[in-house]
């Protein structure tokens, strides 16, 4: 694993992402509530550029006993990235697919040292 500095801490806006190519690997780096999360920009479904997708709060369907939908709510604590190719949703903090827990993003180690942000890639 090789360590790469990818920028200064203040260059990463909370709630947003940066798409980078590091050591020949495309990655998405997300900053949420001050924490960093990084994933390879390859969707486990069919290889789409998942990190280029939009960020959404998790949608919670309010189903009644009749299994009919009675409105929606949004889980403020869970942000998802939605793959632009076919819409697969992944939890940005865990990388796990919203409906299929066996499916997950490929993690990239990301950390802060001093005022700089680093990743380790092969
Ligand atoms: S390639 Fe990402 S949802 Fe299909």
Domains of the chain: 2-121 (2.102.10.10)
The predicted pLDDT at position 95 comes to: 98
The predicted pLDDT at position 80 comes to: 96
Distance CA 36, CA 7 (A): 12
CA 87 – ligand 1 centroid, Å: 6
Q: Does the Cβ of 100 fall within 6 Å of ligand 1?
A: no
CA 30 – ligand 1 centroid, Å: 19
The predicted pLDDT at position 62 comes to: 84
Residue 63 scores a pLDDT above 90: no
Q: 55 or 63, which is more confident?
A: 55
Helix, strand, coil fractions of the chain, as percent rounded to 5: 5, 55, 40
**41-70: average pLDDT:** 92
Q: Does the Cβ of 88 fall within 6 Å of ligand 1?
A: yes
**Per-chain mean pLDDT for the chain:** 94
34 contacts 14 by C-beta, under 8 angstroms: yes
Q: Does the Cβ of 42 fall within 6 Å of ligand 1?
A: no
The predicted pLDDT at position 119 comes to: 98
Distance CA 115, CA 57 (A): 29
CB-count burial class (<10 Å; 0-12, 13-18, 19+) for 26: middle
Q: Does the Cβ of 49 fall within 6 Å of ligand 1?
A: no
Task: Write the pLDDT tens digit of every residue in 64-122.
Answer: 888 898 888 888 889 999 999 999 999 999 999 999 999 999 999 999 999 999 999 98
- Report the predicted TM-score, pTM, of the whole model to 2 decimal places: 0.90
Atom of ligand 1 nearest to the CA of 88: 3
């Amino acid at each position: 694993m090789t360590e790469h500095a990818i920028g200064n801490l203040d260059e990463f806006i909370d709630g947003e992402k940066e798409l980078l190519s590091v050591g020949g690997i495309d990655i998405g780096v997300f900053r949420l509530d001050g924490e960093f999360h990084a994933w390879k920009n390859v969707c486990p479904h069919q290889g789409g550029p998942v990190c280029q997708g939009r960020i959404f709060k998790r949608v919670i369907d309010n189903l009644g006993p009749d299994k009919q939908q009675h409105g929606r709510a949004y889980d403020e604590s869970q942000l998802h990235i939605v793959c632009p190719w076919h819409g697969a949703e992944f939890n940005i903090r865990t990388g796990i697919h919203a409906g299929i827990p066996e499916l997950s993003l490929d993690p990239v180690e990301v950390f802060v040292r001093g005022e700089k942000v680093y990743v380790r890639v092969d």
